[in-house]
Amino acid sequence: MLNKTTKITTVALLTGALGLSAASSPIPSAQAEEQPAVQSSITNKSAAKKLNDLYDRAFLGKSISYASDFKVNQTTRSEIHQRLGQPVPIDENSEFDIYTATMGSPGFGFSYNKNGTIKQIRYFGRNVERQQDIGGVTPAVLSEQLGSADHIRFISTTGEVNYIYNTGKYEIQFVVGNDNTVDHVNLVERE
């Protein structure tokens, strides 16, 4: 098992699909830590780089791509709207401002504290060539690249599993969907 601060500098380039079974289902957190991760000795180089970039930036409370200057508990909603424009309306009850992925650019969601600063940055990745982004990250890749998660939580309402890594003042959460790949990534301040 790798230490979280240890980085793998050389990874094998994936030439096809990961070959992992999409039929495997998440298990409750009490059992999740006892179960071995899906094994993957081949890691998509681009997905591993994206994963490590997200993890490294989490120590700063910041994300990547066009949201790289936005910081948890510092950047305001009005600053985001000035820079990115108006978010895609979801519904009036949504706690997130959503900026959808476009050709070559990832999608993001932002929720806010009562004072208008960012409470949570949610990274959705790219829709096109998703395997080159977080869609190429499985629990085994998380383990290979970052080591064991500090916490694993089962999300009963969605059937997803949340792999949580403490990054100093912040925590980064890799939410793995039913297809056994990362669906989205959350960045929040630790409680």
Q: What is the mean pLDDT of residues 21-49?
A: 50
pLDDT of 80 > 60? The answer is yes
What is the band of 175 on the pLDDT scale with cuts at 50, 70, 90? very high
pTM for the structure as a whole: 0.77
* 3-state SS, residue 100: coil
State residue 42's pLDDT score. 55
pLDDT tens by residue, 131-146? 999 999 999 999 999 9
State residue 174's pLDDT score. 98
Is residue 163 within 8 Å of residue 147, measured between CB atoms?
Answer: no
* 3-state SS, residue 80: helix
State residue 52's pLDDT score. 96
Higher pLDDT, 102 or 17: 102
What is the band of 44 on the pLDDT scale with cuts at 50, 70, 90? confident
Report domain extents, the chain: 44-189
What is the rounded CA–CA span in Å between residue 29 and residue 78?
38
